[in-house]
Amino acid sequence: MSKLSGLGGRLYRGETSIDFIGRRRRWYAVSALFILLSIGALSIQGLHLGIEFKGGSSFTVSKAGASIEDARSAVAATGIPGEIIVQNIGTDKVRVQTGALTSVENNAVQDALAAKFSVAVESIDSQIIGPSWGKEITRKALYGLIGFLIVVVLYLAMAFEPKMAIASIIAVVHDVFITVGVYALIGFDVTPATVIGFLTILGYSLYDTVVVFDRVRENTRTITANSKSTYSQAVNLAVNQSLVRSFNTSFIALLPVGSILFVGAGLLGAGTLKDLSLALFIGLAIGTYSSVFIAPPVLAQLREKEPAMIALAKRVNGRGTPAPAAVTATVPTGERRGPRNQPKRKNRK
Amino acid sequence: MSTTNKPVKTAGRPLRSLAILALVLIALTGLVFIQGATAVRLGLDLRGGTSVTLQPRIAPGESGKVTNEAIDQAVSIIRQRVNSLGVAESEVAAQGSGTNRQIVISVPGDTGRRVVELVGQTAELRFRQVLASATSTGKADPNATPVAGVSADVNAKFAALDCTKAENLQGSGTDSPTDTIVGCDRAGQNKYILAPAEVLGRQISKASAGIDTQGGSAWYVMLTFNGEGTKAFGALTARVTSLATPLNQVAIVLDGLVVSAPRITEAIPSGNAQITGSFTQLEAQDLANVLKYGALPLAFDRGEVQQVSPTLGADQLNAGLLAGGIGLGLVLLYSLLYYRGLGLVTVGSLMIAGSLVYLLFLLLGKWIGFTLTLAGIAGAIVAIGVTADSFIVYFERVRDEIREGRTLRTAVETGWSRARRTILVADFVSIIAAVLLYFFAVGGVRGFAFTLGLTTLVDLIVVFVFTKPLLTILARFSFFSSGHRFSGLSAKSTGTLSAPKEA
């Protein structure tokens, strides 16, 4: 543990420095690959939507020794239309999922299951979603997502700099893509709880980025005045300085989420807890990655295009060359040796 | 590089902050006992029950818009139906905003199918002539004189009808317009025999409450019928107006229950009627709303029906608490291992935050009917991490300041002035997320947004009035300021070569 703390000190002073900004092409390439994979998975497999989004019924019977075959035959005997999915949940539960049914059909399925496993109808846990309801839920989820992005961009643009807001949103969109991709690729169920978990992650991913950018802002406040480092270098130092913090905050946030996932998936099998925490878990990991590897390089690129920053980069790069400012002053103006050297040196790769 | 050398802000009055916090905690605890809110209200997914979400729409064959008033009216009709089940703590409420609102019905316990069948029917408004009326005494009245012109069967039902029983105030939308029926009024005081319906709610074109400023400021209800309604209502009033009471009364029946049974004083062929009586403003407006609703009844799409058995509810509650326990334990363990002495500050802060949240859960349950759902528990658990993050941001900032060569006492203050901004911005983003989630989400997941928002606010309060003041005080002790091995601020853990010396 104290090793990490010691590392924090070295990162802070810049003794140990990881080049996040300079190697940005590498990180971009990794992300681009994942995004392509996500788009591929999404277009080929699509998302596995839960019954909440498409309408349908789900019945869960708790009875030791309840078998999938028994449940399937009981439900099939009612002659309901559509596909029937039967799974075991935990050790003593069977869950039956059907398409959207009429209330008569729903009652028939409940009665059939109750008779088959000799349990009371009231003890069967059920969830029945009307066919038009799913559209409503989907619409609301989309509105929530769009509303969130707009409000947060505006807020961050006010609280920080507009370009920081752009960079954070690029990072968030990146997180959205990859998380959705993971869901498509592995085929996890997407339920409203997943969507909520997901929106929370957007908030959290931004939290992480905010912590890093706050440091960036502080490091670059007087950057044009003292010409010690380029904007990119200042950003890189800020990322390094907040690395331990980013790691700690993400790790601490993952601990409770992990425990929900463990308990939710392990003890309850399926449902709100598992869906919520799985989305949080995946999103947290990706959000942490993007707040270090994506958002700062994007910000650096955006800002480096500004004339003031280009000029700064020239001044900084000019320093430490064989012809520093103090020397050029002594050179007769006619010769212009110093300035002429600099563009050449810049072109050297 | 942070080269700004602003003068160190004063440390504030840490002891006063802590004292205020203690007072607030004591006051909240006191309130909890005074209000008798000693248990967190659990949602149906944690204790078992049925919840039904209905999406109102205009009944088939009608055209018009779903108005807010109509939804409110539908809520009160459904509430009446649900109350007839006699299950304590049943709830009917509209959720969402504008005209796109849902009606959410929650009934605890094993009622299952009955609730689902009860709530989904369209409630109709009809005008029926009163054939007989009596005060419902609460007892069946076997000696009641049978009413002439009514079948023995209906007479027997009327005699047996007890309007003080909840189940008879149900109204389930099953009264047939062509039958002679028996029914109670909404308050359960009177019972009636009612003739087949002659005018339907859909034949009303307008209804409003008004005040007669000349006649002693009496409230009345104006009612206008459409063409068909004018004819039917004209015929009905012409026929009954000369009859003896109660035959000259026309009952306004909504969902099988009599809302009002005004006496007809004259034939009304114009289609414009005025109902007068000793109305209060509220009564007049209620009646007008009922009539308006009757003009455009709502049908309901069954959006979602969720039935959780008490066993599953208990399982989910236990799982949620277990996950919370494990999560909290791990966070505390990591804080202690990594931050040593400072970790104790985290432990204390989380405990304060936890008790504040718990007290608020209790009180909000009493005040605004807040119920804790499984998603809500998950929100609270996730918030443990977010809360701990605020402390980390601050602690790392303090360490940074020490690395700059500042003493602990100075570092605690300069670190705070910088961390404060980060924490405020970051928490604000979380709160934006929570608020939006709350307004866009439907059903159980709203609970997640609510607890997440609430706990983020609590996090802010705790960081400002507990964590920071506590650190200011602790910085005065040499255990921390000298960078003791277990303080979490030693030279080794901050990575500085020499421990900062007191300036």
Chain-centroid distance, C-alpha A276: 14
CA dihedral sign, ordered B280, B281, B286, B288: positive
The pLDDT assigned to B502 comes to: 40
Same domain, yes or no: A116 and A160: no
Mean pLDDT of A75-103: 83
C-beta of residue B77 within 8 angstroms of C-beta of residue B122: no
- The DSSP string of B426-475 is HHHHHHHHHHHHHHH--TTHHHHHHHHHHHHHHHHHHIIIIIHHHHHHHT
Query: Chain A neighbours among B 406-435 (CB < 8 Å)?
Result: 418, 421-422, 425-426, 428-430, 432-434
Same domain, yes or no: A124 and A269: no
C-beta of residue A62 within 8 angstroms of C-beta of residue A96: no
Same domain, yes or no: B183 and B319: no
Q: How far apart are CA A260 and CA B380, in angstroms?
A: 11
**In this structure, is residue B182 part of a structural domain?**
yes
Which residue did the predictor score with more confidence, A344 or A188? A188
Same domain, yes or no: A67 and A105: yes
Q: Residue B39: is its pLDDT beyond 50?
A: yes
Give the total number of structural domains in chain B: 3
Same domain, yes or no: A207 and A70: no
Same domain, yes or no: B324 and B466: yes
**In this structure, is residue A330 part of a structural domain?**
no
Residue appearing with tokens 């007892």: B139
| Nearest-Cα residue of chain A relative to residue B110 | A122
Same domain, yes or no: B402 and B484: yes
Same domain, yes or no: B320 and B269: no
Q: List residues bridging with B253 in a β-sheet.
A: B126, B258
C-beta of residue A169 within 8 angstroms of C-beta of residue A210: no
A with B: how many residue pairs have Cβ under 8 Å apart?
Answer: 262
CA dihedral sign, ordered A61, B381, B20, B336: positive
**In this structure, is residue A13 part of a structural domain?**
no
CATH number at residue A287: 1.20.1640.10
C-beta of residue B2 within 8 angstroms of C-beta of residue A218: yes
**In this structure, is residue B272 part of a structural domain?**
yes
Same domain, yes or no: A158 and A273: yes
Same domain, yes or no: A246 and A203: yes
Our CA-based measurement puts residue A69 at a distance from the nearest CA of chain B, in whole angstroms, of 23
Where residue A82 falls (left for φ over 0; alpha for ψ -120 to 50; beta otherwise) is left
Same domain, yes or no: A162 and A211: yes
Q: Quick one: tokens of B335?
A: 């804080």
Same domain, yes or no: A87 and A43: no
Q: How far apart are CA A252 and CA B245, in angstroms?
A: 77
Q: Which domain holds residue A31?
A: 19-49+133-304
Q: Spell out where chain A has E strands.
A: 48-49, 56-62, 85-89, 93-98, 125-129, 189-190
Give the total number of structural domains in chain A: 2
Mean pLDDT of B161-167: 77
Residue A143 backbone dihedrals phi, psi, to 5 degrees: -60, -45
Residue appearing with tokens 């905050």: A249
Q: What is the ipTM score, two decimals?
A: 0.77
Same domain, yes or no: B490 and B443: yes
Confidence of residue B356 (pLDDT cuts 50, 70, 90): very high
Among B311, B378, B389, the residue with its CB nearest the CB of A272 is B378
Q: Which domain holds residue B77?
A: 49-119
Among A121, A196, A264, the residue with its CB nearest the CB of B112 is A121
Q: Which residues contact A191 (CB under 8 A, 6 or more apart)?
A: A50, A52, A53, A272, A275
Q: Count CA within 13 A, CB hemisphere, residue A233.
A: 14
Residue-wise pLDDT tens digits, B239-254:
888 888 788 889 988 8
Q: Which of the residue ranges A32-41, A222-231, B34-43 would you say has the lowest mean pLDDT?
A: A222-231
**In this structure, is residue A40 part of a structural domain?**
yes
**In this structure, is residue B299 part of a structural domain?**
no
**In this structure, is residue B295 part of a structural domain?**
no
Same domain, yes or no: B233 and B371: no
The pLDDT assigned to A265 comes to: 78
**In this structure, is residue B9 part of a structural domain?**
no
Same domain, yes or no: A75 and A183: no
Same domain, yes or no: B74 and B185: no
Same domain, yes or no: A38 and A94: no
C-beta of residue A52 within 8 angstroms of C-beta of residue A137: yes
Residue appearing with tokens 């605004």: B368
Same domain, yes or no: A107 and A256: no
| Nearest-Cα residue of chain B relative to residue A255 | B327
**In this structure, is residue A329 part of a structural domain?**
no
Chain-centroid distance, C-alpha B238: 47
Same domain, yes or no: A115 and A163: no
Residue-wise pLDDT tens digits, A263-293:
887 777 667 788 888 888 888 888 888 988 9
Nearest 10 degrees: CA dihedral of A34, A36, A41, A42? 110
| Nearest-Cα residue of chain A relative to residue B492 | A6
The pLDDT assigned to A343 comes to: 44
Q: Quick one: tokens of B3?
A: 């080269």
**In this structure, is residue A8 part of a structural domain?**
no
**In this structure, is residue A316 part of a structural domain?**
no
Q: List residues bridging with A88 in a β-sheet.
A: A94
Same domain, yes or no: B283 and B314: no
Same domain, yes or no: B72 and B29: no
